[in-house]
Amino acid sequence: MRTFVGIDLGSTTTKAVLLDENSDVIGRGITNSRSNYSTAARVASEEARVDGRFTLFRRALGAAGGLGSRVDAFLAALERSFRLEQFLEQLGDLEQTCVGLVKGERFAGRESGVKAALAEVFARLRAEAPELYAPGAKRKSDFFRDVAGSRYHAHAEDVARVAGLPYDLLLNVYDKSIIDVENRPPAGGLDDKFRRALARVLEIEPALKSATSAVLPTIERTFGIPLQEAYLVGTGYGRVTLPFSKEHIRSEILCHGLGAHMMYPKTRTVLDIGGQDTKGIQVDSHGIVENFQMNDRCAAGCGRYLGYIADEMNMGLHELGPLAMKSDRPARINSTCTVFAGAELRDRLSLGEKREDILAGLHRAIILRAISIISRSGGVTDEFTFTGGVAKNEAAVRELRKLIRENYGEVTININPESIYTGALGAAEFARRAHEGGARMEGAAA
């Protein structure tokens, strides 16, 4: 089937969205942005294709019947199993790479010892891997580096101690390997991984064995559907580094506007607070941008600011919102200057102000700055869509609702937990429209 890919190369994460010919989303992928945007783009689109495959499975299994209500459980198990296969594969790559780096002066005389230790570490990692992907398991994140890293450190410390080896030798090979491993495209075909994952699921879930005959043909048939990438559009910070020609690039503002429109066709004003920039966008009824404003050099009040605050307060980023919600008396904070964030925080704490009040005030200050940019872009017109990482912060959302109600009246405010994909979604739709337009023109010429 024909698919249209949108890739958003952000400063923190890279997202990919896959659309079918009907503008329906069939797959989404996300990965850490790294120094190598090409790799990030490739990994994200690969993830989107994997997700797309699952969507096809879902559609096929849903239509075919045979598993009934257990379709969801089955697909969840398949996905977990697939992720486990991916993880194991990368783990193998990491092991090979680490072992390959055990040479030179630093390891002189201890090569075999270190290699044995590595073998032990990776054996343990492989053994505990299924647990990490068991049903209900909570992982800190889905990125390989995050998952593998902390476990590696824990095991390596232990093994090194027992083996009487300096811990930093094991660290050294890890540090030197992880970036390469992260940036290497996955070896082997997607199909093989799926089959292995499927085999594992069927092994573990005996109840499905009986329905195997019904499932397998559907799965095989679905495997056979090629996901043909008919057109690709890139957007985001990193887009200029890609070897795409102009027709395959769209500004992030346009992609964002169109993406928001696709999620909420009635939206007219879009606010995006990203990691380091804030965009205010006005779109028309077709999702085409009519007006926009961005912050200038000063990134005050963007997502990073909250990151600094979290660091200053020794909290997790996701804990800021809930704590701020506890306040009913937000402190009046007039500046979101990141440079002075720490000093202002300490000053107020020392004056006896409560943490939750300060946090609530900070959230309000961020939203005030965002409203400022929205103001300059043309104000707030019903409906209002709020996207970006900060949109997941309930305290920020609370302040936003208040400010909009006070200054613009009753306005429908749209917030989508998947809003991080907005730019990629818009890019994918641009890809679809560009392809359609091209095909139409060809048809007209014929």
Partner 1 sequence: MAASLSTPTAADIVARAQALFDDLTFSAAREWKAAAPGRKVVGYMPIYVPREIIHAAGMLPLGIVGGGDQLEVIHGDAYYQSYICRIPRSTIELGVSGRLDFVDGMLFPSICDVIRNLSGMWKMMFPQVYARYFDVPQNYRDDIGGNYYINELAELVDDLGKLRGKPITDEELRASIGVYNENRRLVRELYALRAKQPWQAPAAEVYLIVRAGLVLPVEQHSEMLRDYLAAVRAEERPKRDNCRVVVTGVFCEQPPLNLIKSLELAGCYVVDDDLLLVTRWLTADVPLEGDPLRNLALAFLHQSESTAAKYEPDLKEKGQHLVRAVQRSGAEGVIFASPSFCDPALLDRPMLQHVLKDAGIPYIAFKYAENSGQMQPIREQAGTFADSIKLWSGT
Partner 2 sequence: MTTFATPKPAPAKEVAKDDSMLKQKEMMASHYERLTNAPTSGAKVAATFVPGNLNELIMCFDLVNNLPEVNAIQNGLRRTSGAFVLEAEKIGHSEDVCTYVKSDIGMMAKGNIAPNGKRFPNPDVLLLSYTGCFTFMKWFELLREQYKCETVMLHTPYMGDGKITKNMIDYMVKQLKEEVIPKLERVSGVKFDIDRLREHLKKSAKAEDDLVRVLQSAKSKPSPIDAYFGGIYYIGPIFGAFRGTEDAIDYYRFLREEVDARLAAGKGPVTPDGDMGTERYRLVVEGPPNYTNFRQFWKMFYDEGAVVVASSYTKVGGVYDLGFRHDADKPLETLAEYCLGVYTNRSLPMRIDMLSRYVEEYQADGLLINSIKSCNSFSAGQLLMMREVEKRTGKPAAFVESDLVDPRYFSAANIKNRLESYFQMIEQKRASARAAA
Q: Which residues would be at the binding site for partner 2 (CB under 8 A)?
A: 5, 42, 45, 229, 231-232, 237, 240, 243-245, 247-248, 250-254, 286, 288-294, 296-297, 376, 378, 437
The DSSP bridge partners found for residue 231 are 4
Minimum distance from residue 254 beta carbon to partner 2 (Å): 5
Token pair recorded at residue 47: 């993830």
d(CA 87, CA 90): 5
Minimum distance from residue 182 beta carbon to partner 2 (Å): 20
Q: Which of 343, 381, 402, 437 touches partner 1 by CB under 8 A?
A: 343
What secondary structure does DSSP assign to 151-167, as a single string? HHHHHHHHHHHHHT--H
d(CA 354, CA 388): 28
Residue 403 interacts with which of partner 1, partner 2, none, CB < 5 to 8 Å by class = partner 1
Position 409 contacts partner 1 (CB under 8 A): no
Minimum distance from residue 225 beta carbon to partner 2 (Å): 16
Of 119, 103, 113, which Cα lies nearest the Cα of 176? 103
Position 372 contacts partner 1 (CB under 8 A): yes
Of 228, 241, 233, which Cα lies nearest the Cα of 52? 228
Count of positions on this chain that bind partner 1 (CB under 8 A): 20
Closer to partner 1 by Cβ: residue 119 or 298: 298
Closer to partner 1 by Cβ: residue 333 or 425: 333
Residue 237 interacts with which of partner 2, partner 1, none, CB < 5 to 8 Å by class = partner 2
Q: Which of 76, 134, 207, 298 touches partner 1 by CB under 8 A?
A: 298
Residue 384 region by backbone torsions, left for phi larger than 0, else alpha for psi between -120 and 50, else beta: beta
The label of the residue with tokens 């139409």 reads: 440
Position 376 contacts partner 1 (CB under 8 A): yes
Minimum distance from residue 189 beta carbon to partner 2 (Å): 13
Token pair recorded at residue 16: 């990919």
Residue 248 interacts with which of partner 2, partner 1, none, CB < 5 to 8 Å by class = partner 2
Closer to partner 2 by Cβ: residue 105 or 296: 296
- Residue pair 251/235 in contact (Cβ under 8 Å)? The answer is yes
Task: Find the distance separating the first CA and the last CA of the chain, reported in whole Å.
Answer: 24
Closer to partner 1 by Cβ: residue 58 or 376: 376
Of 16, 13, 18, 15, which Cα lies nearest the Cα of 1? 18
The residue range among 146-154, 221-229, 257-265, 330-338 that interacts with partner 1, by the rule CB under 8 A, is 330-338
- Residue pair 321/394 in contact (Cβ under 8 Å)? The answer is yes
Closer to partner 1 by Cβ: residue 213 or 334: 334
Angle ∠(186,187,191) on CA atoms, nearest 5: 90
Angle ∠(390,334,277) on CA atoms, nearest 5: 35
d(CA 27, CA 6): 11
Q: Kindly list the distances between the CA atom of residue 134 and the CA atoms of 19, 74, 77, 126, in Å, as whole numbers in the listed order.
A: 30, 13, 9, 14
Position 320 contacts partner 1 (CB under 8 A): no
Minimum distance from residue 143 beta carbon to partner 2 (Å): 22
Minimum distance from residue 361 beta carbon to partner 1 (Å): 9
Q: Kindly list the distances between the CA atom of residue 55 and the CA atoms of 50, 292, 327, in Å, as whole numbers in the listed order.
A: 9, 35, 42
1 DSSP assignment? -
Residue 332 interacts with which of partner 2, partner 1, none, CB < 5 to 8 Å by class = partner 1
Q: Which of 72, 347, 418, 440 touches partner 1 by CB under 8 A?
A: 347
Closer to partner 1 by Cβ: residue 252 or 344: 344
Q: Who contacts 63 (Cβ-Cβ below 8 Å, separation ≥6)? A: none
Residue 290 interacts with which of partner 2, partner 1, none, CB < 5 to 8 Å by class = partner 2
Minimum distance from residue 375 beta carbon to partner 1 (Å): 4
Closer to partner 2 by Cβ: residue 32 or 372: 372
Position 401 contacts partner 1 (CB under 8 A): no
Element (H, E) at 95: helix 71-100
Minimum distance from residue 261 beta carbon to partner 1 (Å): 23
Token pair recorded at residue 366: 């961020």
Q: Which of 96, 285, 335, 381 touches partner 1 by CB under 8 A?
A: 335
Minimum distance from residue 112 beta carbon to partner 2 (Å): 43
Q: Who contacts 324 (Cβ-Cβ below 8 Å, separation ≥6)? A: 356, 359, 360, 362, 363, 395
The residue range among 54-62, 110-118, 233-241, 333-341 that interacts with partner 1, by the rule CB under 8 A, is 333-341
Q: Which residues bind partner 1 (CB under 8 A)?
A: 295-296, 298, 332-335, 340, 343-344, 347, 368, 371-373, 375-376, 379, 403, 407
